[in-house]
């Protein structure tokens, strides 16, 4: 076999260098799957889909499509816009307490979001729904998935809705808490939480966002933000201090009910003593001051009809004195 000439070696080296590189095979990163619960008018779903166009989103609502359109004026426009988004699927008539039973919701999700859960009733059904949700959401949640819940900074979530008990008893651990919509993105995209009862907007600085992770080894007695300690005035004030730090401002807000309770305790030590003082003021015909204290008692204890009856008595007595 003859020797290879220098020219051949040069061209051979040149051709070898110009050979195309081997293709780089990159792993396909699956899109994050997110399940939205209790969407109402679907305004949050629309804003969330615009914020995360690379996510695979399933937006659900408890009511039927017809009921949603009748109940929410903006629902029709939102549903029409969602229809043209390829990464969003809308499903109605989904009960948050029965997740895992629906054939049209397949697989597991990286994140499940349930914003401001409420049944629209004040009969204890909201607490039952939240507990049922935490019990059922494990069926559709990945092992390392998380549950995100928007809540209003109010005594209802502290106690009446039993959020602490529902989460811990179902082995969910609070891992993160931050101010709701801190950047203002959702407000800019026409999503603002509206109270179920009074059809009024809730200001953003009274809304918080909690993130939970399922931990089967978690102790059900672990400390949690919404604990029974918050039922006390001292506990509530400590909570407000943490909210103030979260806000990054010097302002934090109590609910009207809690604020009036705190004022009553600071001035009169208890509602009972404040009520006794009202009786004494009435006997002395100091009706203006008695009326002022009674109105504060009603705001602090809206379910107490005795205070309302007392206010009517004071008004009648004032009317009688004016006529006399």
194 and 286 in a single domain? The answer is no
Pairing of strands 207-214, 172-179: antiparallel
Question: pLDDT category, 200, cuts 50, 70, 90?
Answer: very low
Q: Is 90 inside any structural domain?
A: yes
61 and 140 in a single domain? The answer is yes
46 and 111 in a single domain? The answer is yes
214 and 319 in a single domain? The answer is no
Would you say the pTM of this structure is higher than 0.85?
no
174 and 274 in a single domain? The answer is no
Residue-number span of the structural domain to which 298 is assigned: 256-323
Which of 141-155, 216-230, 261-275 is predicted with the least confidence, judged by mean pLDDT?
Answer: 216-230
263 and 211 in a single domain? The answer is no
Give the distance between the most distant pair of CA atoms in the chain. 136
Q: Which of 176, 206, 223 marks a domain boundary?
A: 223
Work out the burial of residue 117: count CB atoms within 10 Å of its CB; fewer than 13 is exposed, 13-18 middle, 19 or more buried. Answer: buried
Whether residue 148 has pLDDT greater than 90:
yes
Whether residue 147 has pLDDT greater than 60:
yes
**What pLDDT does residue 12 have?**
53
82 and 139 in a single domain? The answer is yes
Q: Which of 182, 207, 223 marks a domain boundary?
A: 223
Q: Is 244 inside any structural domain?
A: no
Most confident of the following: 3-7, 63-67, 197-201, 208-212: 63-67
214 and 68 in a single domain? The answer is yes
Q: Is 295 inside any structural domain?
A: yes
Whether residue 220 has pLDDT greater than 60:
no
Question: What is the distance between the alpha carbons of residues 90 and 300, in angstroms, rounded to a whole number?
Answer: 41
Q: Is 21 inside any structural domain?
A: no
Whether residue 57 has pLDDT greater than 90:
yes
Q: Is 242 inside any structural domain?
A: no
**What is the chain's mean pLDDT, rounded?**
76
For range 120-130, the mean pLDDT: 78
Strands laid side by side in the 207-214 sheet: 88-92, 56-61, 33-37, 109-115, 141-152, 207-214, 172-179
**What pLDDT does residue 207 have?**
75
Q: Is 245 inside any structural domain?
A: no
Question: pLDDT category, 126, cuts 50, 70, 90?
Answer: confident
Q: Number of structural domains, the chain?
A: 2
Question: What is the distance between the alpha carbons of residues 115 and 271, in angstroms, rounded to a whole number?
Answer: 34
Q: Is 94 inside any structural domain?
A: yes
Half-sphere exposure of 282 (CA within 13 A, CB side): 19
Residue 215 structure tokens: 């931990």
For range 199-209, the mean pLDDT: 56
Whether residue 227 has pLDDT greater than 50:
no
**Beta carbons of 141 and 147 less than 8 angstroms apart:** yes
Q: Which of 223, 247, 271 marks a domain boundary?
A: 223
45 and 168 in a single domain? The answer is yes
Q: Is 263 inside any structural domain?
A: yes
Which of 48-57, 181-190, 215-224 is predicted with the least confidence, judged by mean pLDDT?
Answer: 215-224
214 and 77 in a single domain? The answer is yes
Whether residue 90 has pLDDT greater than 80:
yes
Whether residue 232 has pLDDT greater than 50:
no
40 and 168 in a single domain? The answer is yes
**What pLDDT does residue 251 have?**
42
For range 166-194, the mean pLDDT: 77
Q: Report the CATH number that the domain containing residue 119 is assigned in CATH.
A: 3.40.50.150
186 and 260 in a single domain? The answer is no
Tens of pLDDT, residue by residue over 272-322, are 888 889 988 988 888 989 999 999 888 888 777 888 888 888 998 888 888
């Amino acid at each position: 076999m003859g020797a290879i000439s220098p020219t051949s070696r040069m061209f051979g080296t040149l051709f070898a260098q110009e050979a195309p590189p081997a293709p780089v095979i990159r792993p396909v990163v699956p899109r994050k799957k997110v399940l939205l619960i209790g969407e109402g008018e679907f305004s949050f779903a629309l804003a969330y889909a615009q914020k995360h166009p690379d996510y695979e989103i399933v937006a659900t609502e408890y009511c039927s499509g017809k009921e949603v359109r009748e109940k929410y004026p903006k629902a029709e426009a939102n549903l029409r816009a969602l229809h043209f988004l390829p990464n969003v699927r809308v499903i109605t008539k989904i009960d948050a307490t029965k997740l895992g039973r629906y054939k049209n919701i397949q697989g597991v999700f990286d994140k499940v979001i349930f914003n401001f859960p409420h049944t629209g009733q004040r009969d204890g059904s909201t607490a039952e729904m939240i507990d049922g949700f935490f019990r059922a959401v494990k069926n559709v949640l990945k092992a390392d998935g998380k549950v995100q819940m928007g809540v209003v900074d109010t005594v209802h979530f502290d106690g009446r809705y039993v959020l602490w008990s529902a989460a811990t008893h179902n082995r969910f651990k609070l891992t993160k808490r931050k101010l709701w919509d801190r950047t203002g993105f959702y407000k800019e995209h026409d999503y603002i939480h509206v109270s179920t009862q009074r059809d009024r907007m809730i200001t953003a600085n009274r809304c918080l966002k909690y993130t939970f992770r399922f931990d089967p080894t978690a102790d059900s007695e672990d400390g949690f933000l919404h604990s029974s300690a918050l039922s006390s005035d001292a506990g509530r004030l400590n909570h407000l201090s943490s909210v103030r730090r979260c806000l990054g401002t010097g302002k934090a807000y109590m609910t009207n009910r809690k604020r009036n309770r705190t004022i009553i305790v600071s001035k009169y030590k208890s509602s009972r003593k404040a009520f006794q003082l009202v009786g004494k003021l009435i006997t002395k015909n100091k009706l203006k001051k008695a009326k002022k204290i009674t109105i504060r008692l009603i705001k602090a204890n809206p379910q107490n009809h005795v205070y309302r009856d007392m206010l009517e008595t004071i008004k009648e007595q004032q009317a009688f004195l004016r006529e006399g």
